[in-house]
A = this chain, B = another copy of it.
Amino acid sequence: MSRIVQKYGGSSVADAELIRNVASRIARGREAGNDMVVVVSAMGKTTDELIALAHQLVEQPDEREMDVLLSTGEIVSSTLLAMTLKDMGHNAVSLTGLQAGIHTDGRYSKARITAVEPQRIRDELARGNAVIIAGFQGVDSQMDTTTLGRGGSDTTAVALAISLEAHVCEIYTDVEGVFSADPRVVPDAVKLDRIGYEEMLELATYGAGVMAPRAVELGQVYGMPIMVASAKSDGTGTLICKEGSMELRNKVSGIAHDTNVAKIMVIGVADQPGIAQALFEPLARANISVDTIVQNAGINNVTDITFTVTQTDVLKALSIVEPVGKSIGAVRVTSDESLGKVSIVGTGMQNTPGYAARMFHALAAEDINIQLITTSEIRITCIISKSRIHDAVRALHKAFEVEFQTTG
């Protein structure tokens, strides 16, 4: 008998028929003799509907209240799944994040898990129950509900798999696995059989929406293998795990892209110590993730600082940066929300020259202008016009496709 932790995303429980499908999958796991712990997201568009409900009342809803509000979406789906399983003759019980022992810090809407105390889960498993857990949520030290932000249910699942010592964490979603590029953009994208944590992390961080980067990172730190697969088929999906052999490393794993990119430029500031700190400390305090930062070489001790944030954060970021810009003597602050980024990712790029040149060549051949470039050891990212993102993904997939790791 093994202990299996599964997670089902919102599109996998979007209606009664889909919930029954998920319940049947859990039932099969139990019939095979496994302890089943299942993390579930809110049904379909529930979270968006709750956000819209709040925005009917308030333009900038209080974050504490918003977290409590949004947490109800996952509670609803967890109870529906548990009662469906019971109706099928399987012992099952739903637990909230609080009951599942998911402790977090107090950063509403972007909380981080600080500890998992799964005693109640162990008790329910010992009683023979399938345990259905409302994902995306935890409680802070005051026992107030927090939510874990984007992909929070993935993080819940991986954290639980680790603390319950499961052999694998299974993430079920609406795609067959991790692909060499987004199949909606590149029809001949191929499913990868396995991928290393680091590559997956870069792909996820740079826009491949299959899994939340935080969950991948957590899996990496604790060495928990993560299987990403479709909730609708019995395919094997993609296993995210430790790197493979030397040969497998010598490849590009995939192309990621993201159209939720905005650029903020602070123009004409003094090129002196303390300027970057003055800009980015208040953004960090406001929980705004700054991605790429570029500072041009100063001419006459005056420089421009450009950075990117998500489009979602751009208004909040501007409201912080504009007064700071004034106080540090910037000529002006401008922004551009019509951007996207495209990345090639692969451990094979490490210490292998030529990947950047091939990437820039492929983009130039399509007449795509590169606005900013940022790299890591295993990734090269170009920020370009949002309108050309799909062209860029297709061109890069074609340029690198012999390198993708697949048995297909």
A residues whose Cβ falls under 8 Å from a Cβ of B:
16, 19-20, 50, 53-54, 56-62, 64-66, 68-69, 71-72, 75-76, 78-80, 82-84, 86-87, 93-94, 96, 98-99, 143-145
Interface SS of chain A: helix
Knowing A19-B57, A20-B57, A58-B83, the reply to whether A65 touches B94 (Cβ < 8 A) is: yes
Tell whether, in the assembled complex, residue B80 and residue A76 are in contact, meaning their CB atoms are under 8 Å apart.
no
Query: How many Å lie between the Cα of A20 and that of B69 in the bound state?
Result: 17
**Set B75, B76, B93: member contacting A64, Cβ < 8 A:** B93
Q: Which of B16, B50, B66, B79 is the one whose CB lies under 8 Å from A66?
A: B79
Q: Which residue of B lies closest to A53 (CB)?
A: B80
Bound-state Cα–Cα, A68 to B57, Å: 26
Instruction: State whether A62 touches B50 (Cβ < 8 A).
Output: no
Q: How many Å from the CB of A69 to the closest CB on chain B?
A: 4
In the complex, residue of chain B having the shortest beta-carbon distance to the beta carbon of A59: B87
Question: Which one of B20, B65, B83, B98 contacts A54 once the chains associate, using CB atoms below 8 Å?
Answer: B83
- Enumerate chain B residues within 8 angstroms of A68, measured Cβ to Cβ: 75, 78-79, 94, 96
Contact between chains at B83 and A65 (CB < 8 Å): yes
| A61-B56 Cα distance, complex, nearest whole Å | 32
Which one of B83, B96, B143 contacts A61 once the chains associate, using CB atoms below 8 Å? B83
CB–CB A86/B57 < 8 A: no
Taking CB as reference atom, which chain B residue is nearest A99? B143
Known: A16-B56, A66-B83, A84-B57. Is A76-B99 also a contact (CB below 8 A)? Answer: no
Give A74's nearest chain B residue, CB to CB: B72
- List B contacts of A66 (CB < 8 A): 79, 83
Complex Cα–Cα for A185 and B56 (A): 36
Chain B residue at smallest Cβ distance from A86: B62
Chain B: minimal CB distance from A12 (Å):
15
Task: Supply 16 A–B pairs (Cβ within 8 Å), ascending by A.
Answer: A16-B57, A19-B57, A50-B76, A57-B80, A58-B83, A61-B83, A61-B87, A62-B83, A65-B82, A65-B83, A66-B83, A68-B94, A69-B76, A69-B79, A69-B80, A69-B83
